[in-house]
DNA sequence: CGGTCATGTCAACGGTTGTTGACAACATTC
DNA sequence: GAATGTTGTCAACAACCGTTGACATGACCG
């Protein structure tokens, strides 16, 4: 790996961590560069602009392992929203997804990444965009209520329990979706 | 109403509109003042700081009409998340709620307002924090999936349909919540 | 060794931010 | 009408922002 690639990866890693957890406009390029231990100007060199860096951050963010079973895919989605993908202080996919709420440009990129990386596969495997959307809504609701809103009535669930409940909820949602 | 109260209310109104829809750090005090047609310095006079203005914005944001029936309260919550409270370009409560995701200080204020204004009443009327949290998760999931993530599989539902589905979902959620 | 390209450093640019204090215009009360 | 307190205006502050270009340093190849 060339020298430039390692610093590029370092920038990408810390950009993901900081931007996803604290939001696009709450983190400056100087903070990211400082966390990565490199100069600010290198961001412009490697990613062009702040938006370019953020969009590079979206690469493969919603990718799922290549499973073919319906329940396996569902479990993968639940797992992706339940656990931090890499490490303890790592940002969650949920926080990335919620970045779309208040910024039209950032939101468009996030929605596009989610659709091509995750939702389209759900559509295909669950057979119906409506079923997939309702399942996504169930996962989102649980995640937002627990992780973002921190409702005392929910969690901390262990992953198994959580997935089981969501699968149950999925069954209910799909039953009235027909 | 004194002169100062009207300009205070104008500031509050436009602050709500702009801050809730575009996020805390995406809107400057100068934009808010310009929208309200007053000088920037008046914000400091009436609200002390940007945070003070935002927190004044939270006043009564999650308040619900004083109903006592369980289903009536549930309908009120659904209605609050489904419709814009005042006018077409008005910001939604959902956007306010999602502001808690990426800013710890702002998020704390939002969560507190939501808890005292809405969740505590749900806890009381539904009898169980767990039931209330699961209901909230269902409403949140539907709202985020439709309004924020804009999943093509969901909506646009007319309000009646939407509420009916959520009430059905509530039944399912509550059934496996015991 | 000398030349060439990749990589990193530094300083600065114009613009915007939240906040402050001095001052003018106005209304109210004596 | 004069004095007083309220309400609004203006200019400025220091700090930070994303972005740019010039320059130093390193690696690599002929």
pLDDT band at B177 (very low <50, low <70, confident <90, very high): very low
Give percent above pLDDT 70 in chain A.
82
N- to C-terminal Cα distance for chain B? 51
In this predicted model, what pLDDT tens digit does every residue of B138-173 receive, in sequence order?
Answer: 889 889 999 999 999 887 665 556 666 666 655 555
Nearest-CA residue of chain A relative to B94?
A: A101
In this predicted model, what pLDDT tens digit does every residue of A64-115 receive, in sequence order?
Answer: 999 988 888 988 998 898 876 556 677 899 999 999 999 999 999 999 999 9
Q: Is the distance between the Cβ of A1 and the closest atom of strand C smaller than 7 Å?
A: no
CB-based contact (8 Å) between A127 and chain B?
A: no
Q: What are phi and psi of B63, to 5 degrees?
A: -70, 145
Lowest mean pLDDT among A22-31, A167-176, B105-114: A167-176
Nearby residues of A2 by Cβ (< 8 Å), 6 or more positions away: none
C-alpha span between A61 and A113 (Å, rounded): 7
pLDDT of residue A157: 63
Contact A24, A99 (CB under 8 A): yes
Beta-carbon separation of A133 and B141 below 8 A: no
CB-based contact (8 Å) between B26 and chain A?
A: yes
| A25 or A87, which is more confident | A25
Contact B32, B18 (CB under 8 A): yes
In this predicted model, what pLDDT tens digit does every residue of B22-52 receive, in sequence order?
Answer: 999 999 999 999 999 999 999 999 999 999 9
Nearest-CA residue of chain A relative to B97?
A: A149
Determine the number of helices (DSSP H) and then strands (DSSP E) in chain A: 10, 0
CA distance A1 to chain B (A): 34
C-alpha span between A154 and B120 (Å, rounded): 14
Nearby residues of A94 by Cβ (< 8 Å), 6 or more positions away: A81, A140, A143, A144, A147, A148, B101
| Domains present along chain B, CATH in parentheses | 3-57 (1.10.10.60), 70-175 (no CATH)
pLDDT of residue B153: 86
């Amino acid at each position: 790996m060339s020298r430039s690639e390692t610093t590029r990866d370092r920038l990408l890693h810390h950009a993901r961590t900081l931007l996803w957890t604290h939001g696009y406009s709450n983190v400056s390029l100087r903070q990211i560069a400082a966390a990565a231990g490199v100069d600010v100007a290198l961001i412009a060199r490697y990613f062009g602009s702040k938006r370019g860096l953020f969009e590079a951050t979206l690469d493969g963010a919603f990718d799922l392992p290549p499973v073919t079973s319906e329940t396996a895919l569902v479990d993968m989605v639940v797992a992706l929203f339940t656990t931090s993908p890499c490490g303890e202080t790592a940002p969650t996919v949920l926080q990335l997804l919620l970045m779309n709420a208040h910024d039209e440009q950032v939101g468009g990129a996030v929605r596009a990444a989610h659709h091509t990386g995750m939702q389209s596969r759900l559509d295909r495997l669950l057979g119906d965009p409506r079923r997939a959307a309702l399942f996504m809504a169930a996962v989102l609701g649980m995640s937002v209520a627990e992780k973002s809103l921190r409702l005392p009535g929910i969690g901390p669930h262990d992953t198994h329990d959580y997935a089981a409940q969501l699968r149950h909820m999925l069954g209910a949602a799909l039953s009235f979706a027909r």
